[in-house]
């Protein structure tokens, strides 16, 4: 809640604010009461800079001001938020998160869609949607993230992918006392679940339920429309050296189905299996879906690749170029993504 944040920033003369102030970064951390997380952030910063734990000079009784490792539960508050994340860890928040670092681009987008975008204080370098997100500082890749960079942003919630690459960071952040929400985000089910979770942690359950309902209705109407069309077999060209496509484990497989197509590698369990040209030819896709992405690309047009003309779809010019930017992320725009796919698979759709 923005009001909460501003009141905290003013923080006033509270207990202990005279002794343990050792660090002033751009005048922002000038008092340490109220949010243990912040003190820890500052402490971590000092440790990171000097390589050891500094006891502030002139604070003989500094121990008294060290915050507990985890925020003490506030009793009788009633609105403590408790949920279980996809690493099976129980996440407990005393109040709705107001300083969020999101390392999951889709979660970032959902936050904006449910009106909680102004609580975002950190993102990955891959976040591009919506436009406002570019004003938020980036902490880099998102996978194997830098704990130091994240803590410096003083978040009260970090959202990251539940996977082996971010497990260490998740453990470390929790140890420091920063709440972490680790999420899987691979399927439509994950999307709905994460919209619900983000509504919960930001105290915006109303908007998140409305968002889920809108997405459900949109998808249902596209499904109905494409259900009347002949289902086409498609090959999704995710990468070409080696050829990488999508399997059943990817949400794109379900989006293609909703869009009135059938993924020729839908029998493969992995989300992005590597295949071979000959295997593609053997499955005789009617259409090749060629998503175009912004920025550095490096993928040769299908018709210019040696050998690819053996595919009937290439010879007959059924390579369908479409806006990949809309499709590569599983976010609030998912219905628009399915429409884009449906137009690529069925020319003249809608």
Q: Which residues bind other proteins (CB under 8 A)?
A: 238-239, 241-244, 265, 268, 273-282, 284, 296-300, 304-307, 309-310, 312
Minimum CB separation of residue 300 from other proteins in Å reads 6
The residue (of 111 and 311) whose beta carbon lies closer to other proteins is 311
Q: How far is the CB of 99 from other proteins (least distance, A)?
A: 28
Least separation in angstroms between residue 96's CB and other proteins is 33
Least distance (Å) between residue 246 CB and other proteins: 13
**With contact defined as beta carbons under 8 Å apart, do 156 and 97 qualify?**
yes
**Residue 38, Cβ neighbours under 10 Å: how many?**
22
HSE-CB for 118 with a 13 A CA cutoff? 8
Catalogue the E-assigned strands of the chain: 81-84, 90-93, 100-102, 120-122, 157-161, 180-183, 232-236, 239-240, 243-244, 261-263, 287-292, 319-323
Nearest to 286 by CA among 252, 260, 323, 267: 260
Q: Which is nearer to other proteins, 51 or 242 (CB)?
A: 242
Residue nearer to other proteins on the CB measure, 243 or 260: 243
E strand or H helix that includes residue 157 = strand 157-161
Q: In the complex with other proteins, which residue's Cβ is closer, 58 or 242?
A: 242
Would you say 295 or 347 has its CB closer to other proteins? 295
**Cα gap 324→91, rounded to integer Å:** 34
Minimum CB–partner distance for residue 110 and other proteins (Å): 22
The helix/strand/coil state of 259 is: coil
């Amino acid at each position: 809640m923005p009001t909460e944040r501003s009141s905290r920033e003013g923080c006033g003369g509270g207990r202990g604010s005279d002794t343990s102030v050792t660090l002033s970064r751009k005048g922002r951390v000038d008092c340490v009461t109220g949010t243990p997380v912040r003190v820890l952030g500052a402490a971590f910063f000092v440790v990171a800079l000097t390589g050891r734990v500094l006891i502030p000079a002139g604070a003989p009784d500094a121990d008294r001001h060290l915050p507990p490792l985890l925020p003490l539960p506030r009793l009788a508050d009633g609105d403590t938020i408790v949920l279980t994340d996809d690493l099976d860890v129980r996440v407990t928040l005393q109040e709705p998160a107001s300083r969020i670092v999101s390392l999951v681009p889709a979660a970032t987008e959902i936050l904006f869609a449910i009106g909680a975008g102004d609580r975002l204080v950190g993102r990955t370098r891959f976040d591009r949607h919506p436009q406002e997100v570019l004003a938020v500082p980036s902490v880099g890749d998102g996978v194997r993230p830098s704990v130091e960079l994240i803590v410096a942003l003083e978040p009260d919630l970090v959202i990251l992918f539940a996977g082996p690459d971010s497990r260490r960071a998740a453990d470390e952040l929790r140890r420091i006392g920063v709440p972490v929400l680790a999420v899987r985000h691979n399927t439509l089910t994950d999307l709905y679940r994460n919209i619900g979770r983000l509504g919960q942690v930001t105290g915006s359950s109303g908007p998140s339920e409305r968002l889920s309902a809108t997405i459900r209705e949109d998808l249902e109407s596209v499904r109905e429309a494409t259900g009347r069309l002949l289902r086409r077999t498609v090959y999704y060209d995710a990468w070409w050296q080696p050829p990488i496509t999508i399997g059943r484990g990817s949400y794109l497989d379900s989006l293609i189905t909703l869009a009135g197509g059938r993924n020729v590698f839908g029998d493969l369990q992995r989300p992005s299996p590597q295949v071979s040209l000959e295997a593609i030819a053997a499955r005789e896709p009617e259409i090749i879906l060629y998503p175009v992405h912004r920025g550095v690309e490096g993928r040769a047009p299908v018709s210019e690749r040696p050998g690819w003309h053996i595919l009937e779809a290439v010879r007959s010019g059924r390579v369908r170029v479409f806006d990949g930017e809309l499709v590569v992320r599983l976010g609030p725009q998912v219905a628009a993504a399915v429409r884009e796919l449906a137009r690529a698979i069925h020319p003249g759709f809608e």
